[in-house]
Amino acid sequence: MTKRIFRSICLAAATVFVASLVISIMVLYNYFSEAYHDRLESQTKLTAHSLANEGVSFFDGLDTYGYRITWIDADGSVIYDTVSGSGDMANHSDREEYIEAVKNGYGESSRTSSTLTEKLIYSAQRLPDGTVIRLSCSQFTVLSLMPQMILPLTAIVLLEAYIAFQIAYRLSRKIVKPLNEIDLDHPKKDSGVYTELMPLLDRIEMQQNELKQQEEALRKKQNEFDTATENMHEGLILLNSDGKIISINRTASELLGIDCSGVGKSLVSLDPSPDLRSLIGEASGGSVAETVMSIDGLDYRFSASPVMSDGETAGIALLIFDITEKEKSELMRREFTANVSHEIKTPLHAISGYAEIMRDGLVKPEDTGEFAGRIYSETQRLITLVDDIIKLSRLDEGADGLMFEETHLLDIVRSAMQLLERPAEEMKISVSVGGDDVSVISVPHLVSGIIYNLCDNAIKYNRENGSVSVMVKDCGESAQIRVSDTGIGIPPDQKERIFERFY
């Protein structure tokens, strides 16, 4: 803006200067031309007066001082001329100044040379005897004076240009200074601003307030977005239409090893995985894409959804889910289903077989009770299995409806072992229970079931004449139940799976 003002001021100054110079030259030239004409007229009248008094002797020894004097007879013929002889000159009766002098007593005229560099001025005065005396002189035109004026004009132009430049430079800086010092955050704060700019400053201030409100709203939304995404267990990456990272949350950053410096860079350049590249490429084409990738031994589902705008892909939202537990649960569910199917088929086959034999009359009357007992035993086994499945389903639904109460662990252990006395005696296994009398808040029948199952396995998979020991220990804020036996144990390669749900 300063340069534009500077150029405008210089242009205006140059225009005014040139116009002033031309006008001044013309005015001065006209002024001196009129003075020149007046002096020529005075000289003509003085010459006419002297010639009328002295006659032709007036010309003896006369110094004309640059004037040409011509004495013209009443018929227009030349009587005397200070430059040429009278016989060599043509008749002057048709000359403008001669005609006007004869008619009015005095006449003037001027003629310009063909080169426009010299102007001849004629002044004629009629004498009492009817003759006419004419004086003429040459006057330079403006064009002819230019070569003589080049040097002074050049000096004046340079001086004027320098002065105009300095004035324009200082004036432009002075004009722009208040504009440069305007505080856009508080445009009306400076009292030195131009009054003419107040409507503009009012609008700027209003727009600044709107921008601040919008910026604050955007910052608030950004903070809410960052808070929400940073606390997500899933990874979230937002990409622009070029596949460059706009935003990445903590989970995705840790998972892919991309820190905040990766924002603004291409995701596929930071993680050149072929599966990821194919996923991003498919999403860029406007299709929802998914793939499963393994990272550090864990399974993750990558889901890329295109963000469409006016029918074109404006960005991509990439979500990363940890499906490791889900995959394990699915595997365990399949194993559980297979195991349950097997466990259910075994008693059902037995029941079906016994019933078929009895139906066909192949059982002796005295053996009917035994077969019925076997059917009853297998039925109870099936009922127990179904009850276990129902209990497991209820536990999956959460702890709602369960009654918590103070439970004495040592009493629970003793009760469980009493139920297992018979299986222990059959296998000749010695059982011992001991430890601290510890009370905890729990669901008694669930704790009893856990202890029963542990002790049942300890007896069932023990050796003959073996032993089972159950100890309860008070650990302060917690309690410990330890079941030790002399059984076959768990194979080393299976120990990591003992806490799997359906193992």
Contact 290, 271 (CB under 8 A): no
Pair 283, 296 in one domain: yes
- Profile the chain (503 residues) by mean pLDDT over runs of 10 residues: 72 79 78 80 85 78 78 85 72 86 88 67 88 83 65 78 80 73 66 66 79 86 78 84 86 82 83 84 87 85 87 87 77 72 74 80 78 81 75 63 83 88 88 90 85 88 90 90 89 78 56
Cα dihedral value 248, 254, 256, 261, nearest 10? 50
Rg from Cα positions in the chain: 63
Question: What pLDDT shows up at residue 47?
Answer: 84
Cα dihedral value 234, 239, 243, 245, nearest 10? -80
Pair 140, 32 in one domain: yes
Q: What's the total number of domains in the chain?
A: 4
CATH of the domain at 56: 3.30.450.20
Chosen domain end from 322, 342, 364: 322
Pair 333, 313 in one domain: no
Question: What pLDDT shows up at residue 467?
Answer: 93
Pair 465, 338 in one domain: no
Pair 310, 335 in one domain: no
Question: What pLDDT shows up at residue 397?
Answer: 62
CA distance to 137, 245, 255, 271, 294, per residue, from 237 (Å):
99, 7, 11, 13, 18
For residue 172, being part of any structural domain is answered with no
Which strand (E) or helix (H) includes residue 107?
strand 106-112
Question: What pLDDT shows up at residue 146?
Answer: 64
Question: What pLDDT shows up at residue 432?
Answer: 92
Pair 332, 409 in one domain: no
Pair 42, 121 in one domain: yes
- Kindly report the pTM of this predicted structure: 0.41
Residues 6+ apart with CB under 8 A from 97: 107, 108, 109, 122, 123, 124, 134
Residues 6+ apart with CB under 8 A from 278: 289, 291
Question: What pLDDT shows up at residue 480?
Answer: 92
Chosen domain end from 373, 396, 419: 396
Q: Which long-range contacts (CB under 8 A, 24 or more apart) does 255-260 make?
A: 255/295, 255/300, 255/320
Pair 131, 239 in one domain: no
Pair 139, 27 in one domain: yes
Chosen domain end from 300, 322, 344: 322
Contact 280, 239 (CB under 8 A): yes
From CA 81, how far away is CA 69, in angstroms rounded?
A: 6
What residues does 134 pair with on adjacent strands? Answer: 70, 124
For residue 192, being part of any structural domain is answered with no
Range of the structural domain that residue 433 is part of? 405-497
